[in-house]
Amino acid sequence: MRENYKIMKPTDPFQFEIEKEVIEVLHAMESHTKLSVSEIANTALKRFISAHKDFLPPDHFRKKSLEKIDPSTRSKISG
């Protein structure tokens, strides 16, 4: 189960403000589980995103898919 929390893809630093109590809970979870705060927060945010796809623009995933396609093919698809 704990392997599900490991960050397997490239990362970037990201800074934001959260409530002090949430930070304290994250540190307690880190100490208890031996998972990093980044791993716990990454998993929590991925779950939030999964549950709230309605917060994303309708074409968000379509744009991501098109970025992976060869440019000559992309123009035929998005055309």
Q: What is the pLDDT of residues 25-48, one digit of tens each?
A: 999 999 999 899 999 999 999 999
- 56: amino acid identity, one letter: L
Q: Where are the domains of the chain?
A: 18-78
* Residue 3: band (very low, low, confident or very high) from pLDDT cuts 50, 70, 90: confident
Q: What is the pLDDT of residues 12-26, one digit of tens each?
A: 999 999 999 999 999
Cα radius of gyration (the chain): 17
Length of the chain in residues, anyone?
79
CB-based contact 62:30 (threshold 8 Å): no
Instruction: Indicate the pTM of the whole model.
Output: 0.70
Give the residue carrying structure tokens 């630093």.
13
* pLDDT score at 69: 56
